Amino acid sequence: MPFIAETAEYDGVVARIDRLGLSALIDEVKDILTGFSLLVEERKDANGGKAVRQMLDDRFKERSGWAKKQSGDIDWEKCHTINGTRLCVGVEIQVSGRSDSGLFADLAHLRRAFSIGRIDVGIIVVPSDRLGNFLTDRAPKMSDAKRHVEEARAHDLPILLLAIEHDGPGPPLAKQFKSSRKDG
């Protein structure tokens, strides 16, 4: 099973999780990220990040209560009601795609959701630095995510960065190829 290789915590997020009673919801996120098989070919750029993204999205879909948001918003969101108070967690998954711009967009989505009171804790999931080397699609790794939080001045938001690591070697994960069709 994959595991959480590294975490980074901002603006007292762990104390906030504990104080608001969100530990079970955070544990559910961690279980979603780790409770399956993730084998990759351990060779630079040998695996498609989109395949990892699809696996994670499928895991969130299987769980009750997780809402997939539209493009331009937080990827996954779930709320928990405790003593009549609604508390929400937003999850951004950044394992494929847009590299630097993706992380800045994710941070903007989280910042907006915090500012309008929609979520109480934000989580960004990225590949570990090791796993990131084996993926294509320009996905940012944990070291990139930490740098982006600082550059975006988002260190004052209650964000938890989680870096996932694969379980071990396996066949390459499918890559997404761009169309080579030429119009004209």
CA distance 133 to 62: 28
> Side chain identity at 139, as an amino acid letter?
A
3-state secondary structure 34-84: HCCCCEECCCCCCECHHHHHHHHHHHHHHCCCCEECCCCCCCEEEEEEECC
Provide the pLDDT for residue 176.
67
Provide the pLDDT for residue 131.
95
CA distance 19 to 84: 16
Provide the pLDDT for residue 98.
60
Provide the pLDDT for residue 97.
67
User: Could you list the pLDDT tens digit for every one of the 184 residues in the chain?
Assistant: 899 999 999 999 999 999 999 999 999 999 999 999 999 999 998 998 889 999 999 999 999 999 997 778 899 999 999 889 999 999 999 987 666 678 888 999 999 999 999 999 999 999 999 999 999 867 789 999 999 899 888 889 999 999 999 999 999 898 865 544 444 4
CA distance 99 to 92: 13
